[in-house]
Amino acid sequence: MSEAHVKTQIEDLKTLLNQYNYEYHVLDKPSVPDAEYDQKLHELIKLEQEHPDLRTDDSPTQRIGGEPIEGFEKVQHRAPMLSLGNAFNEQDLRDFDRRVRQGVGGDIHYVCELKIDGLAVSLLYEEGRFVRGATRGDGTTGEDITNNLKTIRSIPLQLNQNITLEVRGEAFMPKASFEKLNQTREQEDLEPFANPRNAAAGSLRQLDPKIAAKRNLDIFVYGAGLYEGKNIGSHSESLSYMSELGFKANPEWRRCTSIDEVIEYVNGWVERRSDLNYEIDGIVIKVDSLDQQDELGTTVKSPRWAIAYKFPAEEVITQLEGIELSVGRTGVVTPTAHLKAVQVAGTTVKRASLHNEDLIREKDIKIGDYVVIKKAGDIIPEVVNVIEDRRTGDEQDFNMPENCPECDSELVRIEDEVALRCINPKCPAQIREGLIHFVSRNAMNIDGLGEKVITQLFNENLIQDVANLFELQRDELLKLERMGEKSTDNLLHAIETSKVNSLERLLFGLGIRHVGAKAAKTLAEHFETMERLQNATLEDLTAIHEIGEKMADSVVLYFEKPEVDQLIEHLRQVGVNMEYKGIKRSEVEDVDSPFNGKTIVLTGKLQQLSRNDAKAEIERLGGKVTGSVSKSTNLLIAGEDAGSKLTKAEKLGIEIWTEEDFITELNN
Check if CATH label 3.30.470.30 holds for domain 85-310: yes
Residue 460's H or E segment, with its range, is none
Residue 172 CA to residue 38 CA, distance in Å, equals 25
What pLDDT score was predicted for residue 35? 66
Model pTM score: 0.52
Is 90 exceeded by the pLDDT of residue 447? no
How many Cβ atoms are within 10 Å of 15's Cβ, its own excluded?
Answer: 12
Mean pLDDT of 202-231: 83
Least Cα distance to 130 among 172, 76, 166 occurs for: 166
- Across the chain, mean pLDDT equals 86
Q: Where are the alpha helices (DSSP H) in 332-381?
A: 357-362
What pLDDT score was predicted for residue 446? 92
How many Cβ atoms are within 10 Å of 145's Cβ, its own excluded?
Answer: 26
Contacts of 602 (CB under 8 A, 6+ apart): 611, 614, 615, 625, 636, 637, 639
Could you report the per-residue pLDDT of 502-550, keeping only the tens digit for each?
999 999 999 998 898 888 988 998 999 999 999 999 999 999 888 888 8
What pLDDT score was predicted for residue 345? 65
Instruction: Select the CATH number that applies to the domain covering 428-498 from these four: 1.10.150.20, 3.40.50.620, 3.30.460.20, 1.10.10.10.
Output: 1.10.150.20
Pick the range with the lowest mean pLDDT from 217-221, 611-615, 660-664: 611-615
Could you report the per-residue pLDDT of 389-405, keeping only the tens digit for each?
899 999 999 998 999 99
Could you report the per-residue pLDDT of 292-327, keeping only the tens digit for each?
999 999 876 789 999 999 887 777 889 999 999 999
The residue among 265 and 23 whose pLDDT is bigger is 265
Give the relative orientation of helices 503-510 and 428-438 as an angle to the nearest 10 degrees: 160
Instruction: Select the CATH number that applies to the domain covering 503-573 from these four: 3.40.50.300, 1.10.260.40, 1.10.150.20, 2.60.40.60.
Output: 1.10.150.20
- Give the domain 3-64 fold: Helix Hairpins (1.10.287)
Residue 284 CA to residue 306 CA, distance in Å, equals 7
Is 80 exceeded by the pLDDT of residue 418? no
Helix (H, G, I), strand (E, B) or coil at 423: coil
Mean pLDDT of 484-506: 93
Beta strand residue intervals within 16-107, DSSP E: 74-76, 85-87
Q: Which residues are catalytic?
A: 115
Amino acid at 572: R
Check if CATH label 2.40.50.140 holds for domain 314-390: yes
CA triple 144-195-149, angle to 5 deg? 25
Delimit the domains of the chain by residue range.
Answer: 3-64, 85-310, 314-390, 428-498, 503-573, 592-667
Check: CB of residue 412 under 8 Å from CB of residue 405: no
CATH topology agreement for domains 428-498 and 503-573: yes
- Give the domain 592-667 fold: Rossmann fold (3.40.50)
Pick the range with the lowest mean pLDDT from 36-40, 520-524, 591-595, 660-664: 36-40
How many Cβ atoms are within 10 Å of 397's Cβ, its own excluded?
Answer: 10
Pick the range with the lowest mean pLDDT from 141-145, 544-548, 597-601, 619-623: 619-623
Residue 447's H or E segment, with its range, is none
pLDDT band at 229 (very low <50, low <70, confident <90, very high): low
Q: How remote is the C-alpha of 229 from its chain's centroid?
A: 31
Residue 193: DSSP 8-state? P
Residue 169 CA to residue 249 CA, distance in Å, equals 9
Measure the CA dihedral 564/567/568/574, to 10°: 180
Is 80 exceeded by the pLDDT of residue 261? yes
